[in-house]
Structure 1
Amino acid sequence: MKKDVTGCITRDAISIKNDKGNYVLFFSVAVNDRYYTKAKGEYEETDFIDCSMLASPKLADSLVKGRIVSLHGNLKPDVYFKKDDKKKKNPVPSFRLFVNEIKWEGYRSSGSPKDSSAQQNPAPAGSAASGSGDDLPF
């Protein structure tokens, strides 16, 4: 199933060379969803999605914890085992996103290699973020 996901990278990417000589990058993202119900009011859920992609190992240097990315790829069911499950008897269902495209969105505001997303993605001239005084997005 094709899926677009925007989230914050939760661990630095690692690069592993597979049997065919290609490099596979592994990382995970946290995706926050906000909901409102009469019973709970407004609340937020966070989903953690494991990601993998074929790419140069040099790209792993850019896929660091705290970086916000938009990803496009194929979402597939997967399983993992908790660290304390030494005999691997209790698989936990999860999802894995096989990434085809990445778009850099910036960094989380609480500490990052680059101070903020404004440095990474400057606002276009005339937009509200550039100080034009017009709060309308169009």
Structure 2
Amino acid sequence: MIKLQIIGHVGKNAVENDVNGKAVLNFTVAHNERYKNAQGMQKERTVWADCAMWAPNAIGPYLLQGTLVYVEGTPYIDLYKASDGTPAAALKVRVTQVKLLPGGPKAADGKNAAAETPAPEPTEELPF
């Protein structure tokens, strides 16, 4: 098994979807990294990960846009054609664990406690 660990910010509020009668929590996480290019100039890039976690799960209301999170799961790459017809790829993660990290926005109920929530075991493939 390959395991991917990401620390980043939630891109937009998590959404619970129904897939074949089972609830799945979908959200995106952005990770920013700084590096120096071959000419020694400081650069920054953002890597986005599309995350899916079997739900129901109590963490859903806390996964708000801008929240800093730690996500762990099994990665895979989805190859597709962009709207202009060029080949493209997306990083997808089947989430096994999420932790809220300090410093993010507050949930609707005003709480902002760091939490750890393991995801239930999937029973079938997640369609993205």
Give the TM-score, by structure 1 length: 0.67
Unaligned 5+ segments in structure 2 are: 115-128
Residue 99 of structure 1: aligned partner:
95
Q: Identity of paired residues, percent?
A: 25
Higher gyration radius (CA): 1
Distance 1:57 1:103 in 2: 13
Which one is further off, 73-82 or 40-49? 73-82
Distance 1:73 1:51 in 2: 9
Distance 1:80 1:113 in 2: 35
Distance 2:102 2:63 in 1: 11
Would the alpha carbon gap of residues 4 and 75 (structure 1) be closer, same or farther in structure 2, given more than 3 Å must change? same
Distance 2:36 2:62 in 1: 35
Higher helix content, 1 or 2:
1
Alpha-carbon displacement from aligned partner over 1:29-79 (angstroms, at most 9, x marks no partner): 110111124514222111111111102165321111010100110010114
Number of aligned residues:
109
For the residue of structure 1 that corresponds to 2:102, the secondary structure is strand
- Select the structure with the greater relative contact order (CA < 8 A; seq sep ≥ 6): 2
Would the alpha carbon gap of residues 57 and 15 (structure 1) be closer, same or farther in structure 2, given more than 3 Å must change? farther
Unaligned 5+ segments in structure 1 are: 122-138
Distance 1:17 1:100 in 2: 18
Distance 2:32 2:94 in 1: 19
Residue identity matched to 1:2: K
Residue 2 of structure 1: aligned partner:
3
Distance 2:52 2:80 in 1: 14
Distance 1:49 1:72 in 2: 11
